[in-house]
Amino acid sequence: MPFTIASSVTFEEEIKKSRFQAIAAIVENEQQVKKFLEENKDLSTTHQCWAWKIGHNVRFNDDGEPSGTAGRPILATIEGNDLTNVIVLVNRWYGGIKLGTGGLVRAYGGCAGQCLMLAEKIELIQKKQIRFSCWFNEWAILQYELTQQQIDYQESYNETGVLVEARLQIHQIDALKSKLQDITRGREQLKIIEEQRDE
């Protein structure tokens, strides 16, 4: 069973005068990765190295450190903790003493690992993307339902009504399916959108 972290955590340490700061956060898609990296852009750092894993997809970045000394060790700590839907960013402020490749691997991997040890691990609840449409006069009831269940959704409007996309936990789908059929008297169906997998 894959795990993710319950909330964002940070960890800082100093290694041979260089300051390292790791930030771990939850991400569910590449837009969230981009947003996280933009929000945490820090021009005072010497390097901002990171790795993330979402499902089968992984990416990492050494940000100017020697190849394989930063991003990959950070990714190894994410995978070593059986985590997914997680990004770990490790900032380094260079302190004037070179660490060598082995030292860098230990520093980046170690800092990311310490950070993840502080995080509370939770079982990843599988979610599916769904889509449905309804008339304007039905939307208020369905919108209330989504809000009550704390379901993330986006709505868009056309001349006939409302088109809704949402991410649901697997166990929430059937209830919403029957609610939609009740309200629309069987006119509308809940569609599950197959997630695009980049293998």
Strands (E), 55-123: 57-61, 86-93, 121-123
197, pLDDT greater than 70: no
- 93-114 pLDDT, tens digit per residue, is 999 999 999 999 999 999 999 9
Tally of domains within the chain: 2
Residue 198 lies in a domain: no
Instruction: Band the pLDDT of 196: cuts 50, 70, 90.
Output: very low
User: What pLDDT score was predicted for residue 198?
Assistant: 37
- Please state, in angstroms and rounded to a whole number, the distance separating the CA atoms of residues 105 and 146: 45
Residue 33: predicted pLDDT: 96
Residues 9, 97, single domain; the answer is: yes
CA distances from 179 to 94, 144, 155 (A): 57, 12, 17
Is residue 197 included in any domain, yes or no?
no
Q: Which of 94, 123, 152 is the last residue of a domain?
A: 123
Mean pLDDT of 8-28: 96
Question: The domain that contains 30 carries what CATH number?
Answer: 3.30.230.30
